[in-house]
Structure 1
Amino acid sequence: MKKYILEVDGIQKKIAERVILSDIYLKCETSEIVGLLGRNGSGKSTLLKIIVGLVQAPNKCIRIDGISKNKAIYLFNEISYLHQDQFIPNYLSVEKAISLSIDAKEIESFCEDVFITSVLKKKVKDLSGGELRYLEIKIVLYNSSKFVLLDEPYNGLSPIMIDVVNELIKANSKKKGIIITDHNYQNVIKISTRLVLVKNGKVHNIDKKEDLVECGYLSAIALF
């Protein structure tokens, strides 16, 4: 299977003169799950939004396989993005949301899932927070894009749903590159093949979990 490479370079962002991100370089390849860690306000979500073009940043450079893709329109079919906020309209039925989002050839396999079959006949507005989040995650992962950015995917999910989502992420990483960030850092650490810490506007590559203690992100107790 052909490998693809996403590179994000030169990203800088200020908000009210406060430097959020400074000269960020981030790389993700097909079959990688890159865990993006950092304290609240460190700029993780801002970085993902900049990558997909929802937030502007001067001099950013987004490359896929070495080809510049700086304009959001060029990334539409290349990168899927799971926003923290709901993106499926409440007025749709679950079946309609699936039919509008998933290739017709994939719908049957998409629905072979106890969590999906249990809500198929519902309206989106009638879903619980966990049911809606699960549906959104699966739709994003089933997209034909080469890369997936997941912002707070575990929010509202039950422990059983989290386990299933982790399996979905692992399965999709065989053909996609995935970048994930979540306050549930334990699951991010558990599922990631590589970890990156955003601190003081910079990106720090994490070679081992003990590095998170040295960087002041975790206490030694939190490693066990």
Structure 2
Amino acid sequence: MKNHLLEIDSIQKTFDNKNILSDVYLKCETSDIIGLLGRNGSGKSTLLKIIFGITRADFKFIRIDGCVKAKTKDLFAEISYLPQDNCIPKVFSIKKAIQLSVSEEKILEFCGDEMIRTMLDKKVSNLSGGELRYLEIKIVLNNSSKFVLLDEPYNGLSPLMVEKVNELIVENSKTKGIIISDHNYENVIKVSNKLVLLKEGKAHHLLCKEELIEKGYLIEGKLANFDKRS
């Protein structure tokens, strides 16, 4: 299996004369699960949208497997993106959403998932928030892209669904590089094998989760409590 490499370099973004992102560098390889952390307003969602190509940056430089990707359309086949907001039209049936999003050779396996089976005879409008999020995540991870960006994937998920989503993420990281951003830092830390902290517009590449305390993102007690639950 060939490994793939996504490099995001020199990302700059200002808004109302304020630097949101300043010379951000990020590298994601096949098998990476990168947890993108930061306080509200630190630019996490903006960075993911810039990488995917739906938000304009003041400057950006993106390479995939050594090839520069200057046009947004060149990224869509290489990168999949899960936005914060629901993205499947509510008028769709679940079967139609799957047929339009999953390749024919993968549909049988896709629908073999116990949670997906319980949805098959429903419409998107009849799903709970957690069910819909689970469906969206599974669809995005089953895309043929080399890289996946997940923005707030855990929103609305029950603890059981969180576990199943983390299993999906780990399984798909065998063939993809994955970047996750979520306000629920515990789940992000738990599933990630690399951590990046956005602070004051800069990307800090952490060697261990204890650096989250050193850099002021977490207080020591919270990390200690997390370690006990892990």
Question: Structure 2: which amino acid aligns with 1:132?
Answer: L
> For the residues of structure 2 that align with 1:91 and 1:25, how far apart are their CA atoms?
40
Instruction: Measure how far apart 1:70 and its partner are.
Output: 2.2
TM-score, with structure 1 as normaliser: 0.99
What residue identity is the alignment partner of 2:159? P
* Aligned counterpart, 1:141: 141
Letter in 2 for 1:85: D
Tell whether the 8 Å contact from 2:14 to 2:20 is kept in structure 1 after alignment: yes
Tell me, in whole angstroms, the C-alpha distance in 1 between the residues paired with 2:53 and 2:147.
14
Instruction: Tell me which residue corresponds to 1:192.
Output: 192
Q: Distance in 2 between matches of 1:140 and 1:70?
A: 23
Q: Which residue of 2 aligns with 1:216?
A: 216
1:159-178 equivalence runs, <5 A: 159-178=159-178
Q: Give the Å deviation of 1:2.
A: 0.6
Q: Could you tell me which residue of structure 2 aligns to residue 31 of structure 1? A: 31
Residue correspondences, number = 224
**1:124, distance to aligned residue in structure 2 (A):** 0.5
In structure 1, the partner of 2:16 is 16
Please state how far the C-alpha of 1:58 moved relative to its aligned partner. Answer: 2.3
- Measure how far apart 1:18 and its partner are: 1.1
Is the 2:10–2:24 contact (alpha carbons within 8 Å) kept by the matching residues of 1?
Answer: yes
Between the aligned partners of 2:59 and 2:38, the Cα distance in structure 1 is 23
Q: Answer yes or no: is 1:67 the counterpart of 2:71.
A: no
**Does the aligned pair in 1 maintain the 2:37–2:181 contact within 8 Å?**
yes
What residue identity is the alignment partner of 1:166? N
* Shift of residue 100, structure 1, vs aligned partner: 0.4
Paired letter, 1:2: K
- Separation in 2, partners of 1:157, 1:187: 11
Task: Measure the CA separation in 2 of the matches of 1:161 and 1:106.
Answer: 21
1:123 aligns with 2:126: no
| Amino acid in structure 2 at the alignment position of 1:30 | T
**SS of equivalent to 2:131:** helix
Match of 1:55 in 2: 55
Q: TM-score, normalised by structure 2?
A: 0.96
Shift of 1:50: 0.3
- In structure 2, how many angstroms separate the alpha carbons of the residues matched to 1:18 and 1:122? 46
- Aligned partner letter, 2:131: E
Alpha-carbon separation, structure 2, partners of 1:209 and 1:89: 38
Return the offset for 1:140. 0.0
Residues of 1 paired with 2:217 and 2:189: CA distance? 12
Mark the runs of 5 or more structure 2 residues left unpaired by the alignment. 225-230
Task: Measure, in 2, the Cα distance between the counterparts of 1:70 and 1:111.
Answer: 36
CA distance in 2, matches of 1:210, 1:168: 26
What's the C-alpha RMSD, in Å, of the aligned pairs? 0.6
